[in-house]
Structure 1
């Protein structure tokens, strides 16, 4: 019965090749060391014969022997230099293979995360739909239950849309990670661009223009075409002026595939003339409403 040998990985192949070359180089270096010792001995012998006034025939033989061992040592030195170049090249190839192996491991982890999200999303959708149907299919009717059902349905749509987006982003990041683009992988410390504050109720929304607003004396800015946790108090005015849209909106899905989620975009420059001041828009809307009432 024939047994098939396991195919070696690139790291194993280059590692084995490097060890073999290092062993061969050491043997060659030992031979060179011995040859150089012989060269020194032949030179010393020729020198003694010359000093002693030996016959020309003896001097000719001594010089010929000396040149022979010198040529042999020169050949060994050239071979040793070639081995050094081969070892350096193999070390670089091994380092590249190790780096690729590590990138592949990270990419596989990212792909596994995307697959896990995809497997879990239908369960979430089914559970949320069951909550909605518990209200919509009931013979009783209560405003509170109706509002609850509408909120759950909106949340279900938003979460499923966000799950599709994050899976697409994760797989794109995995591809870039395998290709060696270090900036493509999700940093270990990456978090949401706008960490939600406990006292502010927020809505995850997609920006269509660069925005700014204020929270507790701090100015917040968000780039265009990015996922942002926007305070719900500013959401109506931002939607009314077409500066943001919901994640499940058709145009947002297209923009996400074109621009991504903007997860790694920096904040727009404070002097950017395209920045939309949501607080100013909200104040203007309030003044206009008060004027109409007056």
Structure 2
């Protein structure tokens, strides 16, 4: 079809036409809100690099979770900041650890809100790595039992889903087996299947106090140059029992999201990470961009690439806009 017989602008002429032929639709149902839990009461510590986000004590997390729930956001994902750290990250799987206490309180107050927990050790170890360290090497196989114990403790506290983010080989199998052996075969796993060793995580590491104290995570997180490896990682996690597979980060890896969507028939999640959030907020503050429009365009791009689920710090802002748009349309 060629001009003048075909005129694409005919169907862009007004908002009604544009709505009728819109190929990708973003919904509040697509969003998951990350939250950071810390001890104490009445605590609301601002995260400077993530405007509008805080380290929250349990009482304040419940308030924020309620606001998210009332906006229609179906799920939150919890990260914990323990009172103390040690080489084995024992607070990650402690019965009364910060995540475990927070899950119990949220499920008590908001039983219909889905609570997902991040399963990793980096926030709980004094060295800041995602597993047990022997010398200067993260011991993959020795870490698996601790990750499984962490996942089990989260589910026994009431978590609806666990999300291992450590990138240890074989951890999905280990977690699946432990959950099944404890009568929890109904609990799904959302695997961080494709997690790149990215510079976009900087603000998160401030928020979660999880930066490694030595070295980096290049031996277990993926090389940003690799795409075929992403498919191998996803395929392995699917075979091990993952119910949802995730790509992290999102914006610099839209091609990976698309390739994963083409390869697997499971739901695909993408994490719109802290650095992506911070860049938009910083440019908005400087007056260089329309932050609201860039936010929504960014989320739409992730959805268009193939993500079914988007973990994003923009979740509540986007939910308000989507609700208002829905009300206007009706």
Q: The TM-score by the shorter chain falls in which range?
A: under 0.3
Task: Compare the two structures and name the one with the higher helix fraction.
Answer: 1
Greater percentage in strand: 2
What's the TM-score, normalizing by structure 2?
Answer: 0.20
Q: Normalised by the size of structure 1, how large is the TM-score?
A: 0.21
Structure of greater relative contact order (alpha carbons < 8 Å, 6+ residues apart): 2
